[in-house]
């Protein structure tokens, strides 16, 4: 029987392989049990990060990690991407399955007009 950590490692390795063939900018996700993070990166450095710990999230009371908050993170990330004139990004889900909170961030990006 294959355990869940091994499955996550396989999905993560598969995502890294796809990253090498993709566009220049990418969004890298990390989720913990209490918070959600989305980092906007180019090939060499991190351009920006939005999470449930940021000032904007605390001011707008988006600190709970749920679908609504994750959609808000995606919309805010798309606003940042538009400000630096990026229209398409690679969505690196870091090995997580594409459903629930991860899918909500992707939907927020699409609502903001970013192709991922």
Question: DSSP labels for the chain?
Answer: ---HHHHHHHHHHHHHHHHTTS-S-EEEEEE-SS-EEEEEE-SSSEEEEEETTSHHHHHTT--S-SHHHHHHHHHHHHHHHHHTT--B-EEE-TT--SSTHHHHHHHHHHHTT-B-
5 band by pLDDT with thresholds 50, 70 and 90: confident
21 band by pLDDT with thresholds 50, 70 and 90: low
Domains and CATH numbers, the chain: 4-111 (3.30.420.100)
Structure tokens that stand for 108 in this block: 């927020």
pTM, whole model, 2 decimals? 0.82
* pLDDT tens per residue across span 30-58: 988 899 999 998 888 999 999 999 898 88
């Amino acid at each position: 029987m294959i355990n869940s950590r091994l499955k996550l490692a396989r999905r993560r390795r598969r995502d890294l392989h796809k990253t090498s063939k993709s566009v220049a900018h990418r969004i890298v996700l990390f989720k913990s049990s209490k918070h959600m993070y989305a980092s906007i990166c180019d090939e060499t450095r991190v351009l920006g990060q939005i999470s449930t710990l940021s000032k904007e999230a605390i001011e707008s009371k988006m600190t709970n990690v749920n679908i609504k908050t994750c959609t808000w993170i995606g919309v805010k990330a798309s606003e940042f991407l538009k400000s630096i004139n990026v229209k398409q990004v690679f969505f690196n889900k870091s090995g997580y399955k594409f459903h629930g909170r991860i899918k909500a961030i992707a939907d927020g990006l699409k609502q903001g007009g970013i192709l991922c």
